[in-house]
Chains A and B, each alone.
Chain A
């Protein structure tokens, strides 16, 4: 949950507002221009599976690059220092590469239209319904929390009342997604990606100049925070104390393996971007293309965080400037009108894109996985298209409602977010076992989901919160809970499988490693055999580059 300190009002002028106004007009324009391409429900929910890889790839990064992520990661940088790189180089990159190289062929070839739909094909209706309903709830909740965070930032920076920001941003998102569907959401995400770069790069340049370059920055921080603040792994030996409250093992297993793989490979708001690509090659390249910008974005959020830690030594102390204020504070201190307008626009665009990504995945799951499977099956496609538009509007209105609730009960919201975050972990267990173990039985899916979620929650809320085992920080406890949830989910799946029936081999074709469904191989498109479009090269290149990035911060 984001809160900003008072006194961060930006000195915006007419030029800045003109830049912002133009952006809002373009956002709506994209929605209405995309409308004529929406003929079937598949056009509305998955852009007709026809977008090029670079578009879906940039949308894949941007869907995650919401403003809560930007402000939050800058805050993590200001609080924990260079350790924030773990969320990118070990947290995101391996998971994105795994999605592209290993999992995407199963997702894309099986023609499922959502992540829960894959569970229906591989396991049964109970696993499917459970994951669909939880995802739909979580998506609306996260969209609402995003909207609430936007209203706090807008109130602090521009002085608009919170309810005005919630209603205005909510209605803009409603308009462009309801009219233009996923194509409109994805195009706006691509646009937002470039605007946010145009906002953050000048901020990084000026911030570094202000503190005397990278040399000046490291010098000041070493003397104020100690040398470990500027290394990735310093102080992460098991038993050593560090501000993150985690050791190298929980970082690699908890954050790098379980949490990140759960988020990047089974969160439909991300996977949906790849499923809208025009062929299997483009779908596999979506997360791989995304990995390259993702790996360098960390500098654009970490450096403002570090600079803020130098300029405001007391940052994070109660009553003063908070960690989340790092980027708004630097915007206020360093950016003249003009670039300031770009930065405000980029921040608002990031909030709206973060919300839109959740709404456009919510409507797909609700329509295809809940409504068309359990409530009104067998209707003509036009019905589901109309219903999809309706449920999009309802979803946005529900998020607006959630945002208003969040503004009076923000603790409950934080609690709920933690709850839902524990659901991603068993999703990953169930997927990975389901995709690689033919024997995993039909019933093991739903029990794996339930057991993993329960175990992660028990560990977090009982063993950690009640102090039965001492873990220094929430962050560290999160990593441990993820590992516990993964192990419990896997164990229960194996045990249930031993006592229940497997799925008939014929029904597993194309869903499990080592099986092929006849007639599914598409001929490769022209030009897809170019060396720079080879998924293996892109994927391993990204992993190698991420490992190289670690070097200067590990020696």
Chain B
């Protein structure tokens, strides 16, 4: 029990994920903005055949706008609440151990 505990705690102390891993919100935001723009443009230029196929709903336009909104939401969220730097959460007896 304690042996496993010590081993994992030690690995947690030297782990680099918290300090170095990028924020996934940037990726989701970026990809959905790009997809949103592409699909919205497809919606703006939709042919009559496209519209007929999609039951007279301009589905590309609506999906594109929805994806754009989701992408912007993630980028704004990231801007408003950026990742907390892990140094602030370090244990008191380990100053700067993660740097």
Give residues in A with beta carbon < 8 Å to B. 15, 18-19, 22-23, 26, 29-30, 33-34, 36-43, 47-51, 55, 110-113, 117, 121, 183, 187, 190-191, 194, 198, 201-202, 205-206, 209-210, 278, 333-339, 342, 381, 507, 509-511, 517, 520, 525
Are A26 and B59 touching (Cβ within 8 A)?
no
What CA separation (Å) do A36 and B62 show in the bound complex? Answer: 38
Cβ–Cβ < 8 Å partners of B34 in chain A: 22
The distance in angstroms between the C-alpha atoms of A50 and B8, with both chains bound, is 13
Q: Does B97 contact A (CB under 8 A)?
A: no
Q: Is the CB of B24 within 8 A of A55?
A: yes
Interface of A is mostly: helix
Q: Smallest CB–CB gap between B20 and chain A, Å?
A: 4
Q: Are A509 and B1 in contact (CB under 8 A)?
A: yes
Q: For the complex, give the distance between the alpha carbons of A185 and B24 in Å.
A: 12
Nearest CB to that of B8 among chain A residues? A111
Contacting pair B1 A43 (CB below 8 A): no
CA distance A55 to B88 in the complex (A): 21
Interface residues of B in 62-97 (CB under 8 A from A): 62-64, 66-67, 70, 86, 89
Measured between beta carbons, the chain A residues less than 8 angstroms from B89 are 525
The smallest C-beta distance from A64 to any residue of chain B, in angstroms, reads 19
CA distance A334 to B59 in the complex (A): 10
Q: Interface size for chain B: under 10, 10 to 19, 20 to 34, or 35 or more residues?
A: 35 or more
Given contacts A18-B38, A30-B27, A337-B50, contact A40 B14 (CB under 8 A): yes
Please, which residues of chain A bring their CB within 8 A of the CB of B51? 336
CA distance A174 to B65 in the complex (A): 34
Q: Which of B4, B21, B67 contacts A37 (CB 8 A)?
A: B21
Contact of A339 among B9, B63, B86 (CB under 8 A): B63
Taking the closest CB of chain B, its distance from the CB of A54, in whole angstroms, is 10
Q: Which residue of A lies closest to B2 (CB)?
A: A517
**Pair B24/A191 contact, Cβ less than 8 Å:** yes
User: CB-nearest residue of chain A relative to B55?
Assistant: A209
Q: Of A36, A117, A337, which one neighbours B42 at CB under 8 angstroms? A: A337
Are A111 and B63 closer than 8 Å at their CB atoms? no
Residue of A nearest to B60 (CB): A338
Extra inter-chain contacts (5) besides given A15-B42, A194-B32, CB under 8 Å: A36-B20, A39-B16, A42-B12, A50-B86, A183-B21
Q: Can you list the 5 inter-chain pairs with the closest CB atoms, starting with the nearest?
A: A48-B15, A48-B17, A338-B42, A39-B16, A336-B50
Contact with A along B27-40 (1 / 0, CB 8 A): 11001101100110
Interface centre among B21, B31, B51, B70 (most CB of A within 10 A): B21
